[in-house]
Structure 1
């Protein structure tokens, strides 16, 4: 391409740039640009970033092949019914569109590795739904370059404005659970939070604090614990709470697994739920109605969240604009038999 081929100011003419023109601007060979577009190995990181920058700058999108008839679903971990319900929602929408779902579990890692990125770029799915995962800016750019839309479900970081996301009303859910305990007459209310670097956990904790503050009830720092979102976390931290000189009469947990752990901590301490200790969970997983006693919890519409994320990513794949880039679905307090007024 000569200088006369350029528009005033040295910019590319107003037509879709060719692969050769992109290569010229990036100072690389056309095969190198092709490898970047296809997510193939053998390109130095600095070179890949330079090529992707030029691709973004000039709005280059591949049009020489159709996306595969698959929807890519990425989880940081598959360790509970929580994940299964989201999968069901995504699969329902994918089935309606005749798409298969490819599922990747990152074994607890929040960010997929380079191998995953290269495999996805090579597969070129219709779209990617990332659940409780963090894709790097570079990974997001690589997907965008290949015209692969991305939607994040329950993001672990602050949702980026340019990244569509789906979540639930965690703050109001935390407030509703705490108000229920306060209305029953509890004042020594404990809170087992999940990791507070995750917005969903922080929002539930903030909802708890807001309800306590609105009721004029002091929050004892000893009753607020940052725990893990597993049965083991609820058992460990629940046992510590119950060993306090002035233990709580009620515990609000950040998820149902924690609450199940608190059930066991109470049993080992010789206490009964709800006669001696009221317990509330969060999520409303299927086992909660069969727990002993059936668990009061905050229902998070997980199936609907998965379906919403899938519909959003398919709408983007169809080239249609989203009505909202951030969707939050309502939570609902489900009162069963694990909560009761405190002993007088």
Structure 2
């Protein structure tokens, strides 16, 4: 049995609810049970390797509302929804009447009459998305808020699952800022038995203390390990994945004019990969990358890089999330 077969075979058959039923939301990884996280990771792999895309969203309408820039996430949801048979509507940052004074509640109530799924990127608090999610006829998916990037974590898990054929027992070293991708990854991995995440972050740029505490508390319950250090040199070998992210999230610089000096020691180089990686260790990046800053070219483009596979998984994972939310796709007993 191949790694891909072992990852896909656990996918059970799926069933779809009738239009008009109460929808599910993915505003945070914590909206999902541990079993649902694993299901969506496996489902992303299965969708990639299916001979044709199932038309699980035929007759449904998906709205994609991005107020901030995006390449992979926006494209993944737009193209993925079309592959699943949905009608797709895109809203740019200046195209809704909230820009002219309409209340968020009135806008949400209106859109809930048209859409089965609304995918949102705001870079603001998830509370705004919760306002849209108040209407049970419409699912809301967080495609990046100021709190978390949950669909990125699902993308990452699917990428690892396809490559290694398993998630249990994998060790991941994350280097760089404790940003929204890191937060979602920590909350996801904290509930998968045997997974280990070490966050190597510059002092003052670590994971939000409350998120870290939550992830560590969940890890203790589920048999995972979540830890943080500010000393990358002290990290010992033994990792299956070395992961980094752009130092300037969404291209926004830091208040400290000397901030880059704190990040330089966390750059991913071939020497770091060789020092901390197990045999067969891979590199991952949520992209976009700043070449030769957060990661060296020879690592990003090298044979151990999964970054480009990971980028394509943005679509497969988006498809898994949208069908699970908007069509009630679920495991069959």
Quickly name the TM-score band, shorter chain normalised: 0.3 to 0.5
Q: Relative contact order: is structure 1 or structure 2 higher (C-alpha 8 Å, sep ≥ 6)?
A: 2
The two structures have a TM-score, normalised by structure 2, of: 0.39
Task: Report which of the two structures shows the higher radius of gyration computed on alpha carbons.
Answer: 1
The two structures have a TM-score, normalised by structure 1, of: 0.38
